[in-house]
Amino acid sequence: MRILVVGSGGVGAAFAPIAARRDFYERIVFADHHEDRGRSVVERYDKGTGRFSAATVDASDPTAITELCRVEGITHVLNAVDPRFVMPIFTGAFEAGVTYLDMALSLSEPHPEEPYGEPGVKLGDAQFAQAAAWEERGLLALVGMGVEPGLSDVFARYAQDHLFGRIDEVDVRDGADLVVKGYDFAPSFSIWTTIEECLNPPIVWEKESGWYTLPPFSEPETFTFPKGIGPLECVHVEHEEVLLIPRWIDCGRVTFKYGLGDEFIDVLKTLHKLGLDATDAVDVRGTIVSPRDVVAACLPDPAGLGPKMSGKTCAGTRVTGTGTDGNAREVYLYHVVDNEETWGRDRAQAVVWQTAVNPVVALELLGNGSWSGAGVLGPEAFEPTAFLELLNDYGSPWGVEERVPTA
């Protein structure tokens, strides 16, 4: 297995020390638009083994992706850049005839007339439109294989296979008690992606009505997270699980909510009011620049926040319905990561590390034949036990918390 990781920022760099401890691959090429980024990852984590190398690539150019795959003899491409580049990398991998993985789906577009009611172009629509072509060529595109989406979807499949006779709701809930010393506002993940998912109309799926949208930050609820994180107010956010889970999991409803906090929400609303969330370029005294890119440039790089960050982050999936014994059941399957641990071991802050560990696990399963398939598939399409057992073997355990079923 020869892997190309496109993007050597936070998640791409965190991928390296995790993968360095495993032996399921022959080589990993870390490619980035900035030549020094990929080289820096190799210098930090290869430790003289020669299994890592660096390259330069334009992630917006499908032909460049294809050519790099062919030059390096790549068998698997991992997309570790923001969702703007999903389709070029997805297309380049297809043309190269290699397996493709990403951690976010192709971008959505709100409905032009009813944005808070009807979905327009949904997350992943552009990729799933190509599913038949991937299947005909016997190629696999494993989409949404980070932590959320990714591990959260594996949890949903595990609940269906092992814990429930009937599932009423699958509710993904994300929360953290992370603090970054010295900053009033320092997002722990790509602000470009955060703005995209938080300010777009969030989407909900129901068996009877299909997909529909709501206003941003709708239906706040207090959700109690495990391992000392505690209760947080969570709100609806546009997220891939709602587009993936119903394709493979038999359930009545799917939602995603995020524990953002009032201050974070106020900042996002202000950016929107000022038009600083916009992606279309504007002329600033002769310089053409996207307002959202300016915001990202003004904020600290999430990859470098580790030494100033403390606390834990939790990703998980609440499932309600009828257990295999015929009684009402509610469980929360979760994965908690402590920044002190990830920074101390791998010099990666908790949020990007938690995202990066899951594609490493998935690639190992693809390498040893535990997972296989063709077409455009989400994590729910695969047997979940092997994944969860291997995650434990990586030293990053998951848990199941039984809860009192709500009426």
Lowest model confidence (mean pLDDT) among 27-36, 254-263, 298-307, 378-387: 298-307
- The candidate with the shortest Cα–Cα distance to 148, out of 3, 57, 245, is 245
CA distance 383 to 370: 8
Cα-atom radius of gyration of the chain, to the nearest Å? 20
In which band, very low, low, confident or very high, does the pLDDT at 281 lie, cut at 50, 70 and 90?
Answer: confident
- The candidate with the shortest Cα–Cα distance to 5, out of 69, 67, 95, 87, is 69
**Greatest distance between any 2 Cα atoms in the chain:** 68
Residue that wins the pLDDT comparison between 261 and 85: 85
- 48-77 per-position pLDDT tens digit: 999 999 999 999 999 999 999 999 999 999
Question: Contact, 355 vs 11, CB < 8 A?
Answer: yes
Task: Indicate whether 322 pLDDT > 90.
Answer: yes
pTM over 0.85: yes
Task: Indicate whether 302 pLDDT > 80.
Answer: no
Task: Indicate whether 189 pLDDT > 70.
Answer: no
Task: Indicate whether 192 pLDDT > 80.
Answer: no
Q: Please state the rounded mean pLDDT for residues 255-263.
A: 90
Which amino acid does the sequence have at 223? F
CA distance 30 to 7: 7
> Given this model, what pLDDT does residue 297 score?
86
What is the token pair recorded at 99? 């397996």
Task: Indicate whether 305 pLDDT > 80.
Answer: no
Task: Supply the mean pLDDT for the chain.
Answer: 94
In which band, very low, low, confident or very high, does the pLDDT at 198 lie, cut at 50, 70 and 90?
Answer: confident
CA distance 236 to 216: 7
Task: Indicate whether 185 pLDDT > 80.
Answer: no
CA distance 314 to 306: 16
Q: Please state the rounded mean pLDDT for residues 392-402.
A: 97
In which band, very low, low, confident or very high, does the pLDDT at 407 lie, cut at 50, 70 and 90?
Answer: low
Lowest model confidence (mean pLDDT) among 107-116, 137-146, 165-174, 305-314: 305-314
Helix (H) or strand (E) holding 221: strand 221-225
108: helix, strand or coil: coil
> Given this model, what pLDDT does residue 14 score?
96
The β-bridge relationship of strands 140-142 and 375-377 is: parallel
> Given this model, what pLDDT does residue 145 score?
98
Residue that wins the pLDDT comparison between 15 and 186: 15
> Given this model, what pLDDT does residue 155 score?
98
Task: Indicate whether 375 pLDDT > 90.
Answer: yes
- 79-117 per-position pLDDT tens digit: 999 999 999 999 999 999 999 999 999 999 999 999 999
> Given this model, what pLDDT does residue 266 score?
87
CA distance 147 to 174: 10
Residue whose structure tokens are 């996002």: 268
What is the token pair recorded at 260? 């953002």
